[in-house]
Amino acid sequence: MTQIVAPTHPFDAAVELASEGGSPDAFRGHTSAAYANMVGPFGGITAATLLSAVQQHPDCLGDPLSLTVNYAGPIADGEFEIAAHPTRTNRSTQHWNIELIQDGVVITTATAVFGNRRDTWSSTEIAAPSAPAFDDVAAQAFPDFIAWARNYELRFVEGAVPNPEDDAAGSDLAQPSSTSTLWIRDNPPRPLDFPGLTALCDVFYPRAFLRLGRYLPAGTVSLTVYFHADAAMLAAQADDAVLGTARAQRFGNGYFDQSGEIWGRDGVLLATTHQLVYFKD
């Protein structure tokens, strides 16, 4: 009987890594056209790939607790190398240095903290934003030149991405608030895991687009993700949509910061994120 092999999900293909040179610290990958951004790859897929390198390392301890990625330069289409090295391992936490390298040049750096969670008292002080059900909100497509967005089903409750055609028509699309709230799901649906959650934390387009009502040169300089979910919480989420919300705190002098939250089934907080973004007006 012929065995039918399910096709690899585009996300899994994009973050796929191979061991390199017999070293446990070295990996080789390739950029994915499916996750291309306006310049280089989608930052979320880069962050997810760096996290995957740590997860594949034979010395990896536990699950991710935090990840910080610094995008030092543009990643060119093609192959890249990743070096992931555990700098210190304690009883419950493990600290990592990670680099993405092309043609011998470091393009992206990252640090990560992994660890073993334990049962303790818990409380969530923030609340998920109010939103209609996923099926009650219409999906919105991003412009064709943003390829990575086609891998997600994005249903904006508020703060949708500005329409370039409206901008060209001279409409004033500037908004008084930088907040976007939206339902998000992989397209096609995919069970949520830590690399997938990492990428979701970067689906929020630059907040300056919303405030100014138009596109402008902008890019993430540094992205941090704090993981509040454990493996059991992600398994319970399965391939359901998550609710995301993001806002900026301060714009000025060519940079702004924006923070975000990813909420899962039954209003469970899965991750929080913060990033510094460069923009040119």
pLDDT digits (tens, 9 = 90+) for 111-170: 999 999 999 999 999 999 999 999 999 999 888 889 999 999 999 999 999 886 665 555
Say whether pLDDT at 96 is over 70.
Answer: yes
In the chain, where does the domain assigned CATH 2.40.160.210 lie? 12-116, 129-281
For residue 164, give the nearest of 148, 146, 150, 185 by alpha carbon: 146
Residues 216-223, mean pLDDT to the nearest whole number: 96
Name the CATH architecture for the domain at 129-281.
Beta Barrel (2.40)
The DSSP bridge partners found for residue 246 are: 180, 260
The pLDDT tens digits of the residues spanning 75-93 come to 999 999 999 999 999 999 9
Query: What is the spatial distance between Cα 235 and Cα 218, in angstroms, rounded to a whole number?
Result: 35
Say whether pLDDT at 37 is over 90.
Answer: yes
Q: What is the pTM of this model?
A: 0.95
For residues 256 and 266, the model is more confident at 256
Pick the CATH number of 12-116 from 2.40.160.210, 3.40.50.720, 3.40.1550.10, 1.20.1260.10: 2.40.160.210
Number of CB atoms found within 10 A of residue 37's CB: 20
* Chain-centroid distance, C-alpha 269: 16
Quote the pLDDT of residue 265.
87
Quote the pLDDT of residue 81.
98
Residues 15-35, mean pLDDT to the nearest whole number: 96
